[in-house]
Amino acid sequence: MESINKEFVIGIDIGGQTTKCGVVDARGQVLSQTVIRSDDTEDEKVFIATLADSLHTLIAAADVVDNVRGIGVGAPNGNYYTGTIEFAPNLKWGGNKVIEFAKLLSKKMDGIPVSLTNDANAAAVGEMTYGVARGMKNFIMITLGTGVGSGIVINGEVVYGHDGFAGELGHTCAVRYNGRQCGCGKFGCLEAYASATGVARTAREWLEMTDEPSSLRSLDRISSKLVYDAAKEGDKLALRVFEYTGKILGEKFADFIEFSAPEAIVLFGGLARAKEFLDEPIRKAMNENVLPLWRDKVKLMYSQLKESDAAILGASALAWEL
């Protein structure tokens, strides 16, 4: 009888190129996982059929048939309320339409319920379920990757807003005069500065604008990883790029604190690995720009989840709430 009580969930993280899936137990162990291409087809039905096939294989391999409680999906432009993926330019099959993803996938999976949200919200749920935000009722998750995503938790629940799309903090406006244009078309978005792309852009701009010596000058192409490597080697310009990036993040974090007074801000994603260079300028700017009552009170934390599992864990955590 014990096996009946043992339940599992599936976590699915859909990215532009690949989709990661895993079977997860209640303690946050990823029992088995697999990766499929997201960009092999322009037809969402074909993608969902392929995905369902992989899941069936995965479930069989993990020997948990009949014990899967639910499926959680993290996807760009995912709407929690409706289970739809809406106008997702980064998905080859999702560009110009509203896809009833949760419903379609559930149908292919013999009616197993499917919950869906965007990747940053999924990361927040994952952090609250398995990570450093365990036990926290109020925190803000910031994902620093190619873009800047966010998941806001208030009173123990992710904020979805009136329409299901709340928490686009990467597109709030960085406090810069004549700000940079962002990929979204707006000017001055936080994401245009504080993402991996933004870091590389800052470095490129500064290299062009000045004659300051820097090891980055010898490179054909600048990426945030290369700026990080240069900073590691003590390159002054690279170090200042991170200082500037941290300052902008800290300034906006002060705004976010004034909004929801969180217990902590939790950082996650590739760029968060530059903690050694970002942490101090973020804290400084955050505390300088926040009202005295929150000065040195709000924690700045870094996700501790194993990078390779984190996306699956985040999405899977959604399914426990089903």
First to last CA, the chain: 23
The C-alpha atoms of residue 248 and residue 242 are separated, in whole angstroms, by: 10
Q: What is the closest distance, in whole angstroms, from the C-beta atom of residue 76 to its own copies in the complex? A: 13
Identify the bridge partners of residue 149 per DSSP, sorted by sequence position.
Answer: 143
Out of 25, 100, 229, 263, the residue judged to bind its own copies by CB under 8 A: 263
Which of 68, 80, 74, 82 minimizes the C-alpha distance to 112?
68
Q: Can residue 321 be called a binding residue for its own copies (CB under 8 A)?
A: no
Q: Which two tokens mark 252? A: 């906006």
Q: Can residue 209 be called a binding residue for its own copies (CB under 8 A)?
A: no
Q: Which helix (H) or strand (E) holds 279?
A: helix 275-289
Which of 118, 108, 146 minimizes the C-alpha distance to 13?
118
The count of residues interacting with its own copies (CB under 8 A) is 45
- Are β-strands 264-268 and 299-302 bridged in parallel, bridged antiparallel, or unpaired? parallel
Q: Can residue 4 be called a binding residue for its own copies (CB under 8 A)?
A: no
Q: Closest CB to its own copies among 35 and 175?
A: 175
Given a contact cutoff of 8 angstroms between Cβ atoms, the answer to whether 44 and 94 are in contact is yes
Q: Can residue 262 be called a binding residue for its own copies (CB under 8 A)?
A: yes
* Residues 85-144 within binding reach of its own copies (CB under 8 A): 87, 137-138
Q: Closest CB to its own copies among 168 and 229?
A: 168
Q: Can residue 173 be called a binding residue for its own copies (CB under 8 A)?
A: yes
Place of tokens 């903690």: 275
Q: Can residue 165 be called a binding residue for its own copies (CB under 8 A)?
A: yes
Q: What is the closest distance, in whole angstroms, from the C-beta atom of residue 171 to its own copies in the complex? A: 5
For residue 281, how far is the Cα from the chain centroid?
A: 22
**Amino acid present at 165:** F
Q: Can residue 251 be called a binding residue for its own copies (CB under 8 A)?
A: yes
Out of 22, 188, 198, 314, the residue judged to bind its own copies by CB under 8 A: 188
Q: Can residue 297 be called a binding residue for its own copies (CB under 8 A)?
A: yes
The C-alpha atoms of residue 204 and residue 223 are separated, in whole angstroms, by: 9
The C-alpha atoms of residue 150 and residue 266 are separated, in whole angstroms, by: 10
Place of tokens 């906006």: 252
Which of 25-33, 172-180, 217-225, 304-312 is the region at the interface with its own copies (rule: CB under 8 A)? 172-180
Q: Can residue 159 be called a binding residue for its own copies (CB under 8 A)?
A: yes
Q: Can residue 175 be called a binding residue for its own copies (CB under 8 A)?
A: yes
* Residues 26-85 within binding reach of its own copies (CB under 8 A): none
The residues binding its own copies (CB under 8 A) are 87, 137-138, 152, 154-155, 157, 159-169, 171-173, 175-177, 179, 184-186, 188, 251, 254-256, 258-263, 289, 291-294, 297
